[in-house]
Amino acid sequence: MPHQRPLGLIAIVVYKAFFAVVFMVASVAIFLALKNYEAIAQFAETYTPETQIGFVDWGLDKVLKLDPRTLQFSGLATGIYGAVTAVEAIGLWQQKTWAHLLVITLVSLGIPPEVYELIREASLIKLLVFVINVGVLSYLIYTFPRTEAQPK
């Protein structure tokens, strides 16, 4: 009979896998923006919205204010973080102790900046991410694989 994974672990793996995909897509989008930086700048100069699409204006403004080296670093960092998040998801799915440790460590390191951001400028999204990460951390600490001494 196949080994059944706990529902909490499945939820964390789905959460991590979702964000791994999001970060990888973001990384590709950043590198595409970098590759087409000049074309985007020309488009922004000639772009006149027929309707009020604030998101397009906001996105163009953000991309064009960044130095291309900053875009390159951001794309690389986002890609690496996405890859690490994918490794976390795969390791947790396989119920590896090292994956538990990796996720516990990385989530623990992220909690203080999240608290700072909540104090500085609270938002529903920031609060939701904080609560989810505290839940993930608590669950993984509570269910941390315990190795029992094997009789010799």
Q: What's the DSSP call for residue 123? A: -
Digit-coded pLDDT (tens) for 92-141: 999 999 999 999 999 999 999 999 999 999 999 999 999 999 999 999 99
Contacts for 44 with CB less than 8 Å, ≥ 6 apart: 60, 61, 64
Q: In this predicted model, which residue has the larger pLDDT, 56 or 36? A: 36
Which residue ranges make up each domain of the chain? 1-95, 96-144
Smallest CA-to-CA distance from 37 within 68, 75, 70 is with 68
Residue 92: exposure state from Cβ atoms within 10 A (0-12, 13-18, ≥19): buried
Smallest CA-to-CA distance from 71 within 44, 24, 33 is with 33
Write down the pLDDT at residue 58: 63
Digit-coded pLDDT (tens) for 60-81: 666 667 777 888 898 999 999 9
Q: Above 80 in pLDDT, residue 2?
A: no
Rounded Cα distance, 43 and 82, in Å: 30
